[in-house]
Amino acid sequence: MKEYKIAVLGATGAVGREMVKVLEEYGIPVSELRLLASARSAGGVIPFRGKEIVVQEAREDSFAGCDYVLGAVQNPLSKRFAPAVVKSGAVYIDNSSAFRMDPDVPLVVPEINGADALAHKGIIANPNCSTIITMMAVAGIAGLSPIRNMVACTYQAVSGAGQGGITELEEQMKDLTEGKELKTKVFPAQIALNVIPWIGSGLDNLYTTEEMKMQNEGRRILHRPELFVTCTCVRVPVMRSHSIAVTVRTEQPVSIEEAKEAVRHFPGCRLIEEGEGIGYPTPLDTSNQDLVYVGRIRQDLTDPCGLTLWCCGDQIRKGAAANAVQILKLLAEQ
């Protein structure tokens, strides 16, 4: 594999920093790494392979000569810089939701639909974090029989809202122990010792934008345009790693043992079985690594073609940074 010039757009955020870390862990051959961020972050340094890389201000001319650009910025900035990235000749692998539903932009989880990435036109989209984790957990089952519909409830860590979410939970827990009044800024309600069944913006159908991503993005990843998903997204007072309870209903019955075998052998998944520790995964088990853990596979009691399972995965790693680097690796190896 040749060496590549790679830029990370939004390098100083949680996902951007993790992208830099994963590039090093995965041994991606890098001849030049450009770390790009806002003007106020320029001048800082981020370690990479024993060196301190200086962060530069992101500009439209920052991508000249790059082979790949990993995007870890919000939609407006992604839309602003994407044309410049494509014009430079680099491939833009974007973690925002700006291009996820664009039919000309592949939406890719490498283990599931990696071949889609090869048909890119300069931009490849990273799916939503909860969608990635859920689709990884059910993809093996989908290989046995196509999925008709799904019912999902996500239990999403505060780090999914960025560093501000982590800080808010830490400060609220501290204020609780000191008897102080709690302050709420990032979340719509107190998150310490609480759960909030609302993530994203409300839609006319009474679901939120975050909840509809599971169906809209799942259809593209699984190549099932007729897939229906009903989803409830819940913010929980957990620092890192999202959890999802999901019921899948397939066209043909799939036994529990068949499902376990499919999950056990699906790349990027780890089946947690009874007798192995506590017999099911938790967010703490899956933090700071890239596998999606799956457990509690059981028969759906409302449908003979249904199975219910529980899965956990690190939303900053496999749900964002690692998935993007895996897409880059897939392209580089072709």
d(Cα 43, Cα 53) in Å, to the nearest integer?
9
Q: In the sheet where 4-9 sits, what is the strand order?
A: 45-48, 51-57, 30-37, 4-9, 68-71, 91-94, 123-125
pLDDT over 90 (residue 208): yes
Asked if 129 is an active-site residue, the reply is yes
pLDDT in tens, 238-288: 999 999 999 999 999 999 999 999 999 999 999 998 766 678 999 999 999
Helix (H, G, I), strand (E, B) or coil at 234: strand
pLDDT at site 279: 87
Task: Give the number of other Cβ atoms within 10 Å of residue 184's Cβ.
Answer: 12
CB 296 within 8 A of CB 283: no
**Residue in 129, 231, 233, 312 annotated catalytic:** 129
Residue 191: its H or E element? none
**Residue in 242, 269, 311, 312 annotated catalytic:** 242
pLDDT at site 277: 66
Pairing of β 242-250 and β 123-125: unpaired
Q: Nearest-CA neighbor of 165 among 86, 259, 240, 103? A: 240
For tokens 């996902």, name the residue: 15
Label residue 1 by pLDDT band (50, 70, 90): low
Asked if 242 is an active-site residue, the reply is yes
**Structural domains of the chain in order of their starting residue, each with its CATH number:** 4-126+320-333 (3.40.50.720), 131-315 (3.30.360.10)
Residues 6 or more apart whose CB falls under 8 angstroms from that of 209 comprise 200, 201, 203
Write the burial class of residue 145 (CB in 10 Å: 0-12 exposed, 13-18 middle, 19+ buried).
Answer: middle
pLDDT in tens, 300-330: 999 999 999 999 999 999 999 999 999 999 9
